[in-house]
Amino acid sequence: MNTAGPPLIEFRGASYTYRRGEEGEIPAVRGVDLRIERGEFIAVVGSNGSGKSTLAKMMNALLVPTEGEVIVDGKSAADDDKVWDIRRTVGMVFQNPDNQLVSTTVEEEVAFGLENLGVPTEEMHEAIDRVLAEIGLGEVRHREPHNLSGGQKQRVAIAAVLAMQPECIVMDEATSMLDPRGRIDVMDTVKHLCREHNLAVVFITHFMEEALEADRVVVFSEGTIVADGTSSSVFGDGIDLNAVGLDVPVVTALARGLNERGYAVDRTITGLDDLVEAVCQLRSKT
C-alpha cells in the first residue's frame, strides 16, 4: 500500500440525495469524508438500505455528489469531461451476474469494453489472453457466460473490468447471490489482484466473515460512516454492530461469550487461530 501520494479516491463532505428538492427526497449518503489509497483492500459493511450501494456508485461517477466532492485519481466526478477516465480507473462489479453480462462468449464479454475504447485488434487479443489467464478463465473462453456457474460469471465480470486496466475494482455485494464455492472463488480472485497487482479493492458485503479478509473495514449506517479501522478494532468493542443491523463474526462472538463468562479471552479476537491459541493457553494453565 502506498500512502505517500494523494489518495486514489477521496470523498470530501460528499452527499447524495435521491429526488433532491422534491417531495419524499431520500438523503442516502450524508457528508462522507473517506480516503481510499492505491492497493488498499477495504470492506464496506452495512445493512440493507444503509446507503452503501449509493456510496459505491459515487466511487466511479455513476452518481455525482449532490453536495461536496468526490475526487478520483485527481479528477472530480462532477467534471463531465472526466467521467470516462474515472470509470476506467474505477471498475464496478454488481450483485446479479445475469444482469451485467451482455455477450455470447466469455471472450467477447472481455473484449466489449476494449472495443468501445477503440483498442486495436492485436492489442485487444493480447489483453484478452492476459486477463483470462490471470483470472483462470482460459478454459471457458469460448463458452456462453449464461451457462457458467455464478462464481464463474462474476469472475467474467471481474475479467471484463480488469481488461480496462483499472486502479480500483468496486464489488457491490457481488458475492451475495453466489453459493459458498463461488464466494470463495471470487474472494480469492480479488485478493490475488490486490496483492499481485496493487489493485485497490472496495468489497461491499454483509457477510462479516468476508469483511475479515480486508485490511480495513468501514461500517456504514444511515448514510454515514460509523466505524473505520482494522477488522479487530471494528469487530472488537468499537461499535455495537447489532444496533446497525449487523452481526459480529462468529469467532469474535465466541470470544466475547467466553469473556462474559469470566474467562480471560480477549473480546476483540477476529482470527480463528488466535481464538484456538487463547483457548489452548487457558487450558494449559494450572
Partner 1 sequence: MSIALENVTYVYAPGTPWEHRALSDVSIGVEDGDFLGIVGPTGSGKSTLVQHMNGLLFPSEGRVLVDGVEVGKDRKALRDLRRKVGMVFQYPEHQLFEETVWADIAFGPKNLELDDDDIADRVAWAAGAVGLDEEILERSPFELSGGQMRRVAIAGVLAMKGDVLILDEPTSGLDPRGRASLVGRLRELNRAGMTMIMVSHSMEDMAQLVNRIVVLSEGAVAMDGSKRDVFSRLEDLSSLSLDVPRVTHVMLAMRRAGLSVPLDVLTVDEGIDALAQLLRGKDSASQ
**Contacts with partner 1, residue ranges (CB under 8 A):** 46-49, 95, 149-150, 173, 176-177, 179-182, 206, 208-209, 245-247, 249-251, 253-254, 257-258, 261, 263, 272-273, 275-277, 279-280, 282-283, 286
Q: How many CA atoms lie within 13 A of 137 on its CB side?
A: 33
Name the amino acid, one letter, at 34. L
* 107 close to 141: Cβ distance less than 8 angstroms: yes
By beta-carbon proximity to partner 1, the closer residue of 194 and 212 is: 212
Which alpha helices (H) appear in the chain, and where do they start and end?
A: 52-58, 83-89, 106-117, 121-135, 150-162, 180-197, 208-211, 231-233, 250-260, 272-284
State the nearest-atom distance from the C-beta of 48 to partner 1, in Å. Answer: 5
The least distance separating partner 1 from the CB of residue 95, rounded to whole angstroms, comes to 7
Specify the DSSP element, H or E, that contains 101.
Answer: none
Using CA of residue 190, residue 196, residue 201, residue 204, what is the dihedral sign? positive
Q: Which is nearer to partner 1, 209 or 215 (CB)?
A: 209
CB 93 within 8 A of CB 114: no
Residue 152 Cβ, how far from partner 1 at the closest point, in Å? Answer: 10
CB of 51 to partner 1, least distance (A): 12
Q: Cβ closer to partner 1: 45 or 111?
A: 45
Which C-beta is closer to partner 1: that of 142 or that of 181?
A: 181
Q: Which is nearer to partner 1, 156 or 162 (CB)?
A: 156
